[in-house]
Structure formats: C-alpha cells, structure tokens
Structure 1
C-alpha cells in the first residue's frame, strides 16, 4: 500500500514538472525570447517545486480538518457541545392553524382524493393538440371537462373597456379561473361567519340604579362596546405574467362571489399577490406567519389563500419551449405543463372548541439554497431536519413526506436521498408522495395543493407529515404539519386514608 502511494506521488511530481516545462518551452519559442540562467532555474525548477509544496500543504490541511471532525464525532464532550450549539441556532416556531383546504387538479378534487392519487401516481400523457416548436405533441397534465364559458361570461365584463386586455381573457387564464371557482366557493362557505352577536342585555330589576344616579352616571348610559367581528383576509396568488387589468378583474370576481355567498362588506378584505412560482408562494405563507405582519388585523382574523394556474395554451407552451424549460426529446430536465387550483384557510390563533375536527398545525417554513450534484440530497436532508427541529417533532413520528418533485431525474434523486438520510424509517416509494409526477408544473398551486393533500394524510393517520419543495431552481423549502396534541387526562384524585 505504501509502495503504491509512493509511486502515485512520484508520478504526480513528474506530471507537475512536465506540465511546467512544456508550457515554459512553448512560451519561449512562441515569443522568441532567450531565457538566461535565472529564468531557467526559476521557471523549470523553483516553480514546479513550489506547486508541489502547495499541493502537499493543502492535502495536509484537509487531513487535519477531517481528523478534527472525526474526533468531534467520537468525543462525547465535543459532541454535546455541538448539539448544544445546534439547539441554540434552532429558529423559533411560528404556527399557523389549518382550518380548511381545497384543491382541484388533474388528480382529482379534495385533499383526500389527491393524497390517494399520489400513492400510485399516473403520469401525464401526450396532449391531443398542444405542440412544441418541432410540431411534436407534448406531455401535459390537463383537467378534463372544464366549464370555461360560464366563467368567461362572469369575468369579461369586469375588464376595462379600453386597454391592452380589452379583447378579453386568454384561454389559459379562463381555465385557471374555472378551476378556482369551486375551490373558492367551498372555502368561502366554510369560512362564512354564522354566529350572531348577542345584543347587550338590559339591566335587571335587582341591579337597576336609582333614576337620579342613572341620570348622572355617564358609564351607565353608555352602551357596552360590541365585540369586533372577525375579518377574513383573502389573498389571490395569481401568475405574475398575467396583466394587471386581468388580476384586478379577478379581485372583483372573487369579491362578488364572497358577497353572493353571504359575506358582509366589512367582514372580508381581498388582495392579490403576483407570484412567479412556488418560492413566492412559500414566502407569502412565511410572511403571514410573522408576528408583525398583522398590524391591521385582529387576533381573531383568519386568512384565506387561493391560487390558480394553467399552462394549457399554445402561447404558454411556446414560452416554455423558447426558454428550454419544456420536456422534449433530449431534454429530460424540462417541465410538463399542468394546471390546477387550490386554497387553504389559516389562522394564527388557536381556534375555539365546537369544531367537528381539531385543526392541524402548520409549523414554521424553513428554506435554504438548493444543492448541486451529489450534495443535493444531503442539503435537503439537513433542511428537513431543521423543519422537524423547529416543530419539536421526532423523526420517528413522521408518517409521510409530501413534495412537489416531478419526473425530472435530478428531483427524484434529491428527494429520495433526503428521505434516506433524514427519515430512514420511511420507504421513499411508499411514504413519498410527489405532486409533480401527477400534476406537472402548476406554479404556486403546488404549495397549497401539497398542504391540502398533506392535511388529509395527517388527519387520516393522526401523525405529522413533512412537506419538501424542490421545484424551484435555486431555493428549497420545508415545513412540518402536525395534529393538535391530545389533551392530557385529568389526574385521578388521591385516595383518602382513614
């Protein structure tokens, strides 16, 4: 073994000298220079020796660092110090309570159906009419039997009469809104406040004040302040490339729908969030969970996030193909166009009793840079561990991992490697549910649809699940979703002794 290492070292030194000599001789011949003795000695002898010494020094430093890591791993005192430092670096948890969710994608409608479809994913097939630049059919995850014309009649009148979009909505926009309509209606009905505020009771005869005292008492004549009604904050996550008039028309369409369902004018607020992909959708959720994000909201207010997306249009497909983002022959890392709509109803406060089922807890969203090559799986595993540490959940309790990974080999290898490293008790095939395999590229919808499917799985198994987002090219996101902890039974009274 030592003889082999010595031979490899000598060969390396010879290669260094040979490379330096070859470059120096070619340079001198090309420039016509005549080197003297100092140049010959410095270039052909000292320079190779310095390079060899630098390589040896670098290898020694790397070995010393590796030895230090091994000592830390085997030394219990150093290991406990590192664990303590890691515990101090864990972010504080910020919990959202998931009150309701809905989704409509190629896999079906509702979180339960979607979670079941991801267990045995059926990959998208070729679209009958969409073509790439070569005229070949493309794979697409379209939703069949959409009633686009009814949505067109409802939203076209909301556009301004003049402007770049006076000709109406594009086909992919209408399909996205047709998918959003049943999702928005289901969640608006679920969030509709039914409880009426009781009127202020008149004082009884036993507690009535003397007429003279009542006349001069300002507090007795003032009405008790009515409790502030909760407000539903609705946010539409719409593609950023949609024109501004189209997004404003969508706001009016949802506002009209909320009013028709029964919301009074002061019981809801609505806004739009232009999103370019899953990263923007995760940022919206993380921003809403921050304590200083609700300066204009009461503690009892809730938040409704709605997202719609569709790429079932020739223009959308050509845009993907022009940027080399479409799955075509010879480009396995391309995307499959998809479409869908999803929504979640969230609260920052623990909901009161009286619900049919206890809500789920969405813990703080953590994010980090995407790894490359062999390190991608390890980087994602570290992010999953951070998400579990923030939520204070043991890895052994996790029932499944839901991700937006699709057909791309790089994403499949990354999520499988992360599950193997972070959650070795789970089978990446059986407990890995990947939305992109079934639904293709759905933009911000993937985030809310993942929440809907993961919520159904966590409720069915009464166990936490982990969400991992690998769709973005540069960022990775992870979060844990867990059931409410069971209340501890009251302690039995101690037996009396005589």
Structure 2
C-alpha cells in the first residue's frame, strides 16, 4: 500500500511540474491550445517524462548493483586478505571458559529452555499498536508483554535512587531493567543455592591447617553506551542491593557497569574473562555477565527510522526493534585447563571479524568459512564434523539468512536445517548487546542437553560477525582415557 502511494505521489509531482512549465510557456507566448495540444502536452508528456525518469532510476540501480557484485568477486579472488579474525592470533589456542548457569528474558520465552524450544519454529514479528514510523505507519516489532516497570522503580528507590530521577527515565530503559531484574535474581539465587561462593575445606600442610580463600563474584553489567552516566551508578547500587537480598556478602562481590555501543564490546569482554589475572588470584573468580536492551519506545524507533535502519515495505534490509535481557555465569579455566567448579558447558573458542565485512552472498559465506577455520584452530582437537547444531541471531534480512544458510551448506552440510539450525532474530527482533549472551546461553543449553558441540553465530551487526564453539564438559572418564593414551606404561 505504501509503495502504491509513493508511486502515485511521484507521478502527481511529475505531472504538476510539467503542467506548470507548459502552461507558463503558453501564457508567455500567447498560445491558445486546442484539444489535441491539451491531450498531448498535459496528458502524454507528463506520463512520458515520468517513464523516462523511472527508467533512468532503474538503470542507475542496476549499475550500482553490478559494481557491488564486481567488487565482491574481486574480494573472493583475493581471498579477502583485508579481513581480520578474533581477539588473538588464529593459531593460538584459546583458554576455555566454563558456563555454570544462564538466564534470559526474550520475546520468545522467559527462560533459556523455553526460548530454545520456541526458536525451532520461529514466529514472525507483529505490528506494534502504539509505535509509529516517521510517516505515521505502525512498525514491526518484537516485544514482551507485561514488563513490570513498577518493580524496577521500587528496586531503584530501595537502592537509594531519587524518586524524581527514576520517574524521568525513558520507557525503553525502564523496560530493559524490568527484564534484567528477574534474570539477575534467578542467577544470584542459583549462586546461593549451589553454594558456589562457600569457602573450601582447609588443607593440612606441614602440620598447619590453611583455609583457601572463598570464591569471589565479579559482576559486569553491560548497558547501552548512549544511556546517561547517572543510570550506570544507579545500576551498580541496585545490583549490590539485589546481591545483599540474595544472601551474598559485600566482601565477596565486585560490581561494575560497562557501557557498550554494540555487540563487539560484549565479545571483547568475554575474551578478557578468559585471560589469566595478573597477579594470579588465589581464589576462583565467578564472572556474572549481564546485559539488557530495549528499542520499544518512541525515541529508539525514531532514531532507527531516521538512520534508515527500520524494517518497512520499502526497506527489506531494515531491522525489527526488539528487547530482552540475558545473563551468564562464567568461570575461566585454570593453568591446567580444569575448572574449580563443574560447568554445564564450555565456551572453547570464539573469533570475531571486524574489518572488510561484506554481505554479498558469496563473499559473506567465504568469510564465515574462514572465521570458522580460525575458531577450530583455536580449539585444539575440534573438527567441523563434531558440531551437531547451530544457533544464530539471523533475522528477516535476506542478507543474513542467505549468509547463514550458505555457510551451513558448505561448512556444516551434515546438519539438518529443520532440527539442527535455529535463529533468534525472527522471533526476538534485534536484541542489540543482549544477543551475544543469549547466543552463548542457548548454545550451552543445547550442548548440555544433547551432550554435543554447538556453534553460535552472530550476524546481526552490519560491520562485524562472530562465531563461537560451545561444547559439553569433558567427563572425568574421558580425561583419564586421554591421559592414559598419551602416557602409555609398559606392562
């Protein structure tokens, strides 16, 4: 409907311009047109002018498309040497990170298991009843019903926030915190229930009993970088209060807010967790990483529309505004590759491409294959055949769906597209900085449930893409078998 209206508006504008020029010319030279002249100059001429302009526009579009394809072919031939990989050299083994627990709130479900089941049969986004674009039309969006923003304001007040400042917060920020509140509470409750911060039993050495220090909880709260600094301070106070209410002592907790402009900052933070601490910590450090985001507000929709990024009938490569929150509890491996606590799954390696990213189909697939090769190189012993499922954040954009499908067809052809390949984008929209954590959580849930490695593929951002390998933890029996095979003894 909007395309037809746009067509009629351009036709009318062209006719008006021609009519003004012709009638003005007739008045200047004193021409008295007959019926034939009226039909020819006020009817046929505007239609002909409009047809010529339409053909010129179509020709220019084809020329630009051919130039883009030629550039893509040249990148293919060159092997795309300009593209760079992850956060470490491709051949350097990555430090595994254990995934102890996860939680999420997304339009597809209120926990990891329900979201994983829902994205197997994704639902299309719906038109939002209140949010409109610049032309006054409803926008497609993915949202969560009944977000409890009142509970957020009460929690902020309990953390020492001023009532006037809290009520001035935009709707998007209140909704985002309303989604992160249950995620945070669930993960903190699991930390306490599993007794992960309890002091270990004392060890006896040289007749002396020494008690190792208890584990510490390092909380990282990732918020959109365009949010004001005042809300970051309030977020730290709010989290400390939630941890105290859960029963976690202040001395066992360190909390910080990390502003993130996009998913790249989230992946970089996950890379830092795998790095050994300096100086080495005598006690295990549990990393609680949280992120929330919401684009379900007039301000966010207006920004997307003005930037030409909003999905519409005329903009098929636009995004669907979404919202959500996710959190993962992580534990870096020790020097021997083991974990102080048993994880449910292991993030073995990931790699990110940040330069030369192309969404031309052939180039995109080749770049994803190269990126996957870097992941396998950083995960010793890993092969493409052992990957038994893939979860991505591909959405309704044809470029993303084509890239993911082409990559699966060439690198993971043994997977079943119906049962082994899932995507969050169609059901959840664009989740922003929440997407990396939700992909890791979903991959860990699938890996733990089926005891098979899963690939997490992030393609939602325009200028980067990331691939991560998540595997089930190795069983003690497997470790003993591997050790005995590598160290045979003579009988």
Same fold (TM over 0.5): yes
**Judging changes above 3 Å, is the alpha-carbon distance between structure 1 residues 138 and 461 closer, same or farther for their aligned structure 2 residues?**
same
CA shift for structure 1 position 402: 1.1
Taking structure 1 as reference, are residues 418 and 247 closer, same or farther at Cα in structure 2, changes over 3 Å only?
same
Contact 1:236–1:272 at 8 Å: present in 2 too? yes
- What TM-score comes out, normalization by structure 1 length? 0.72
Q: 1:315 deviation in Å?
A: 1.0
Unaligned runs of at least 5 residues, structure 1: 1-65, 70-87, 202-218, 492-496
| Contact 1:94–1:289 (Cα < 8 Å) also in 2 | yes
Number of positions where the alignment pairs a residue of Structure 1 with one of Structure 2: 389
CA contact (8 A) 1:382 1:422 kept: no
Q: Matched residues in 2 for 1:125 and 1:89: separation? A: 41
* Counterparts of 2:419 and 2:209, CA distance in 1: 58
Counterpart-to-counterpart distance in 1, 2:126 and 2:436: 23
> Is the alpha carbon distance of 1:264 and 1:159 closer, same or farther for their aligned partners in structure 2, counting shifts above 3 Å?
closer
Match of 1:375 among 363, 371, 377: 363
Structure 2 gap segments, 5+ residues each: 1-76, 80-88, 485-490
Check the 8 A contact 1:401/1:468 in 2, yes or no. yes
SS of structure 2 residue aligned to 1:325:
coil
SS of match in other structure, 1:266: helix
- Distance apart, 1:137 and its partner CA: 0.4
Distance 1:402 1:295 in 2: 36
Q: Which residue of 1 aligns with 2:234?
A: 249
Separation of aligned partners in 1, 2:329 and 2:295: 25
Query: SS at the partner of 2:299?
Result: helix
Q: Is the contact made by 2:346 and 2:472 (CA closer than 8 Å) also made in structure 1?
A: yes
- In the other structure, the counterpart of 1:287 is 272
Looking at structure 1, the residues matched to 463 and 198 of structure 2 have their Cα atoms a distance apart, in angstroms, of 46
Shift of 1:437: 1.3
* Cα offset, 1:323, TM superposition: 0.9
The aligned counterpart of 1:102 is 103
Structure 2 match to 1:137? 138
User: Is the aligned partner of 1:319 residue 2:308?
Assistant: no
1:371/1:380 contact within 8 Å kept = no
Structure 2 distance, partners of 1:91, 1:360, is 21
**Aligned equivalent of 1:176:** 176
Change (3 A) 1:180 1:161: closer
* Larger Cα-atom Rg: 1
Is the contact made by 2:395 and 2:424 (CA closer than 8 Å) also made in structure 1?
yes
CA RMSD of aligned residues (A): 3.1
> Which residue of 440, 461, 465 maps to 1:476?
465
Q: Paired residue for 1:340?
A: 324
Aligned equivalent of 2:347: 362
Instruction: State the match for 2:257 in structure 1.
Output: 272
* CA displacement 1:81-110 (0-9 Å, x = unmatched): xxxxxxx95221210001111111011022
Given that 2:199 and 2:215 are in contact with CA atoms closer than 8 Å, whether structure 1 keeps it comes out as no
Instruction: Give me the whole-angstrom Cα distance separating, in 1, the residues matched to 2:428 and 2:201.
Output: 47
Structure 1 residues 294, 288: closer, same or farther in 2, change over 3 A?
farther
- Aligned pairs for 1:435-454 (under 5 A) are 435-454=424-443
Contact 2:199/2:214 (CA < 8 Å) preserved in 1? no
The worse-fitting range, judged by mean Cα deviation, of 232-241 and 187-196 is 187-196
TM-score, normalised relative to structure 2:
0.73
Instruction: Using the TM superposition, give the Cα deviation of residue 298 of structure 1 relative to its aligned residue in structure 2, in angstroms.
Output: 4.0
d(CA) in 2 for partners of 1:123, 1:298: 50
Q: Does 1:464 align with 2:465?
A: no
What is the alpha-carbon distance in structure 2 between the residues aligned to residue 89 and residue 329 of structure 1?
A: 41
Q: Is the Cα contact below 8 Å between 2:127 and 2:141 reproduced in 1?
A: yes
Distance verdict in 2 for CA 1:337–1:301, change over 3 Å = same
